Amino acid sequence: MTAFWAEPDFDAHECVQLVHDRKSGLTAIIAIHSTHCGPAAGGTRFWHYNDPAGAMRDALRLSRGMSYKNAMAGLPMGGGKAVILADEQRIKTPEMLAAFGDAVEALGGRYITAEDVGITEADMVAVAQRTAYVSGLPVAGAGNAGGDPGPFTAMGIFLGIKAAVRHKLGKDSLAGVHVAVQGTGSVGGGVARLLAKEGARLTLADIHSERAAGLARELGCQAVASDAIMSVGCDVFSPNALGAILDDAGVARLDCAVVAGGANNQLARPEHGVLLAERGILYAPDYVINAGGIISVTLEYLARRAGASADINEVRRRLAQIPGRLESIWAESDATGVPADVVADRMAQKLIGRG
Ligand code: NAD
């Protein structure tokens, strides 16, 4: 068996902790990639992995992505991520969440957690019974930011798609622009609703086909089978499900001018960014365009630590900076011929002191 530090995805992570609690049955990995910019912040994923090595890979890649994401968003946070290894039945108990909260608490604030795939706001409330190092908790009062990061992530992606359409297609309006949305959950559903409001033409897909069909009925658009969405002829392909979809076969199937969506780790390997560039497809680096949620989570966390509430206008102000950040990446990529993902990685590595 290969040691995890010999894995290609191990990137001098500061700490990788395996958590096992016999009483509750919790098995989790907490990966802290970098605390250069501040405590490592990133959500917890609850997922069934056929192979535990897949969970380790996810924790290593996602935590590095969080270092890049937080740095590029100008947040005073490092990068970390937790994965809870679900069993086949995906049984999640209050005892498991309590044990997970204890593990986060034991790290003394080096890692701050929040929601990710498979974890709800209610789960985070349960975790918060055991640790203060948590965010994405419900907030009361109009004008206060916080809670489920999904809608903030969706808003950032929507703004990023508008910027990509302007950059690649020279259009200031989304009216009639065809966007194929993969995944209609918290993020993808939110992106689709925002796009529909601006007159975009949508095609939706989800492995839970009823979810996509229901949203398509609501928005008056089309839904297709989940294995067909990547080859839909469109202006923008927006991946909002799981990662590593841009592999050899995935890139070859694309029939679009832009890839811009919220899924983490969309590129299966770095060479797939080169393939996209060679095909003339504009790519919005995932950790730049999908930073809206962590912006909200971070401001909520910092405000709560100071005994205050996060101001929604400050979250909106920071969300509005996402298009400009993408523009500067694309401008450098256009000027140098270096693919957009590599330009972004280099910028992020500099910011976390590894450039
Ligand atoms: P979610 O669980 O609410 O939604 C994901 C949706 O994708 C589900 O409806 C699921 O059925 C669908 N799906 C899964 N595999 C699919 C496939 N192969 N084809 C089509 N649909 C598929 O999760 P979410 O919070 O919307 O997150 C979506 C992605 O965005 C994830 O990669 C997540 O890591 C990333 N992300 C989320 C946030 C956030 O704030 N929630 C922030 C940053 C990044």
263 C-alpha to center of ligand 1: Å? 6
Model pLDDT for residues 144-164, shown as the tens digit of each residue: 888 889 999 999 999 999 999
**Which has the closest alpha carbon to 194: 261, 291, 115?**
261
114 and 154 together in one domain: no
pLDDT at 143: 78
Residues 6+ apart with CB under 8 A from 9: 57, 60, 61, 64
Model pLDDT for residues 32-88, shown as the tens digit of each residue: 999 999 999 999 999 999 999 999 999 999 999 999 999 999 999 999 999 999 999
118 C-alpha to center of ligand 1: Å? 9
pLDDT at 14: 98
CA dihedral 10, 15, 20, 24 (to 10 degrees): -110
115 and 154 together in one domain: no
- Specify whether the CB–CB gap between 78 and 70 falls below 8 A: yes
The whole-number average pLDDT for the span 345-349 is 98
Which one-letter DSSP state was computed for residue 84? E
141/135: higher pLDDT: 135
Query: 312 lies in a domain?
Result: no
191 and 230 together in one domain: yes
pLDDT at 33: 98
Secondary structure (DSSP) of 281-334? -EE--HHHHTTHHHHHHHHHHHHHHTTS-EEHHHHHHHHTTHHHHHHHHHHHHH
- Could you give the CA distance from residue 186 to residue 273 in angstroms, rounded to a whole number? 26
309/195: higher pLDDT: 195
Q: Is the CB of 150 under 6 A from ligand 1?
A: yes
Query: 228 lies in a domain?
Result: yes
Query: 30 lies in a domain?
Result: yes
Is the pLDDT assigned to residue 139 strictly greater than 90?
Answer: no
**Count of domains forming the chain:** 2
Is the pLDDT assigned to residue 141 strictly greater than 80?
Answer: no
Model pLDDT for residues 76-99, shown as the tens digit of each residue: 999 999 999 999 999 999 999 999
Alpha helices in the chain (DSSP H): 52-72, 94-106, 121-127, 150-164, 186-197, 209-219, 248-253, 271-278, 286-289, 292-305, 312-319, 322-336, 340-351
Is the pLDDT assigned to residue 1 strictly greater than 60?
Answer: no
Q: Is the CB of 44 under 6 A from ligand 1?
A: no
- Could you give the CA distance from residue 152 to residue 90 in angstroms, rounded to a whole number? 27
Secondary structure (DSSP) of 200-220? -EEEEE-SSHHHHHHHHHHHT
- Specify whether the CB–CB gap between 283 and 276 falls below 8 A: yes
**Which has the closest alpha carbon to 177: 155, 194, 156?**
194
* Domain range for 220: 150-289+323-350
Q: What is the CATH number of the domain that holds 52?
A: 3.40.50.10860
276 and 154 together in one domain: yes
- Among the candidates 112, 127, 142, a domain finishes at 127
67 and 101 together in one domain: yes
The whole-number average pLDDT for the span 221-249 is 96
Query: 343 lies in a domain?
Result: yes
Q: What is the CATH number of the domain that holds 220?
A: 3.40.50.720
**Which has the closest alpha carbon to 253: 277, 282, 233?**
233
- Among the candidates 88, 112, 127, a domain finishes at 127
208 CA closest ligand 1 atom index:
11
103 and 220 together in one domain: no
103 and 160 together in one domain: no
153 CA closest ligand 1 atom index:
40
- For residue 66, the Cα-to-chain-centroid distance in whole angstroms is 9
Query: 66 lies in a domain?
Result: yes
116 CA closest ligand 1 atom index:
41
pLDDT at 322: 98
- Among the candidates 127, 162, 178, a domain finishes at 127
81 and 179 together in one domain: no
Percent over 70 (pLDDT), the chain: 99
- Whether the predicted model's global pTM rises above the 0.85 cut: yes
- For residue 340, the Cα-to-chain-centroid distance in whole angstroms is 17
Model pLDDT for residues 266-318, shown as the tens digit of each residue: 999 989 999 999 999 999 999 999 999 999 999 999 999 999 989 999 999 99
108 and 46 together in one domain: yes
pLDDT at 6: 81
Q: Is the CB of 224 under 6 A from ligand 1?
A: no
Q: Is the CB of 155 under 6 A from ligand 1?
A: no
Q: Is the CB of 117 under 6 A from ligand 1?
A: yes
pLDDT at 283: 98
121 and 180 together in one domain: no
Pocket test for ligand 1, best of 206, 247, 287 (most atoms within 8 A of CB): 206
- Could you give the CA distance from residue 148 to residue 82 in angstroms, rounded to a whole number? 17
- Specify whether the CB–CB gap between 81 and 62 falls below 8 A: yes
Is the pLDDT assigned to residue 4 strictly greater than 80?
Answer: no
Query: 141 lies in a domain?
Result: no
Query: 299 lies in a domain?
Result: no
pLDDT at 7: 81
83 C-alpha to center of ligand 1: Å? 15
Q: For this structure, is 81 an active site residue?
A: yes
The whole-number average pLDDT for the span 19-26 is 98
Q: Is the CB of 226 under 6 A from ligand 1?
A: yes
- Could you give the CA distance from residue 246 to residue 269 in angstroms, rounded to a whole number? 8
272 C-alpha to center of ligand 1: Å? 21
Pocket test for ligand 1, best of 68, 115, 117 (most atoms within 8 A of CB): 117
Pocket test for ligand 1, best of 240, 299, 322 (most atoms within 8 A of CB): 240
Q: Is the CB of 227 under 6 A from ligand 1?
A: no
76 and 25 together in one domain: yes
Q: Is the CB of 183 under 6 A from ligand 1?
A: yes
- For residue 256, the Cα-to-chain-centroid distance in whole angstroms is 22
Residues 6+ apart with CB under 8 A from 82: 28, 29, 30, 31, 42, 43, 44, 45, 59, 100, 104, 111, 113
Q: Is the CB of 211 under 6 A from ligand 1?
A: yes
260 C-alpha to center of ligand 1: Å? 14
227 C-alpha to center of ligand 1: Å? 16
Return mean pLDDT, the chain.
Answer: 96
Query: 80 lies in a domain?
Result: yes
The whole-number average pLDDT for the span 314-338 is 97
116 and 32 together in one domain: yes
